Amino acid sequence: MASSSQIDLSGTTYCVLTGASQGIGRAIAAQVSKMLGPNSVMLLLARNKEQLSQTASLCESKNVKVFYESIDLSKASLLEMNFALNKSLEGRRVTDFSTSLIFHNVGSLGNLAVDTARMQDVPELREYYDLNVFNVIALNTQFLKLFEEVEDRVVIVNITSLCAIKPMSGMAYYCSGKAAREMYFKVLAEEKKHIRVLNYSPGPVETSMIDYVLAETVNKNLRDVFNSFKNQGTLLKPEMTARKCVKVLLNSKFSPGEHVDYFDDE
């Protein structure tokens, strides 16, 4: 059952967004920044500092103070995560914010040049899971610790994929990582029913991911699927899926930890 409480970002809001340097992350950051009320704070995280700066320039306004930190979430320590969070909160109390929001958008595709039946490089798998699962969980935990006394104001959005619930030939890294990550957030939502948790699947989006798949995959079926997306003009613009994500969030009709896709009825 969906929660009856509306999510309102028009008050003083604290918002963290990972993978904010380009694509879906940048589009969500720009969209969310328009909704935030006076004295709000945004923290943008990604590896590329120059591209983060460009995202920050799209978000800064009289209502929003934007911080950005170059951080590699495949390797980041808990100390680094806490430093970034605390730096953006300097001079503020967690009780100052009517909503505390985090978007877990960071993600990668993994090795597409190896057949699923031939996957055996454990260090490579570990690095993939560090970025896409383990350090997502670790960052989320640091966020929850900071806002523990106002947990009922916390909103968590995990950017997931149809691949989390439906196998895609040629994408064993990606599908298994997305599935593990989504289930973690579903369990969290089950345990912490007063925290609003959304698993949002953005649909097929026109990003650098498409070209990467076509360049790297050894799987013919996967190549055909992504070629059809490209040739038929069915790819979504990042701004389109960002608007839908924010709309789903503000409508607040999703159940705890629910997987909501771009194409789902509203």
Report the distance separating Cα 42 and Cα 29, nearest Å: 9
How many beta carbons lie within 10 A of that of residue 215, not counting itself?
Answer: 10
Residue 194 domain-assigned (yes or no): yes
pLDDT (tens digit, 9 = 90+) per residue, 61-75? 999 999 999 999 999
Residue 59 domain-assigned (yes or no): yes
Predicted structure pTM score: 0.95
The CATH number covering residue 124 comes to 3.40.50.720
E strand or H helix that includes residue 254: none
Report the distance separating Cα 79 and Cα 216, nearest Å: 35
Domain hosting 175: range is: 13-261
Residue 8 domain-assigned (yes or no): no
Report the distance separating Cα 136 and Cα 105, nearest Å: 9
pLDDT (tens digit, 9 = 90+) per residue, 84-143? 999 999 999 999 999 999 999 999 999 999 999 999 999 999 999 999 999 999 999 999
Tell me the Cα Rg of the chain.
Answer: 18
Per the structure, the count of domains in the chain is 1
Q: Which residues contact 152 (CB under 8 A, 6 or more apart)?
A: 194, 195
Residue 266 domain-assigned (yes or no): no
Residue 78 domain-assigned (yes or no): yes
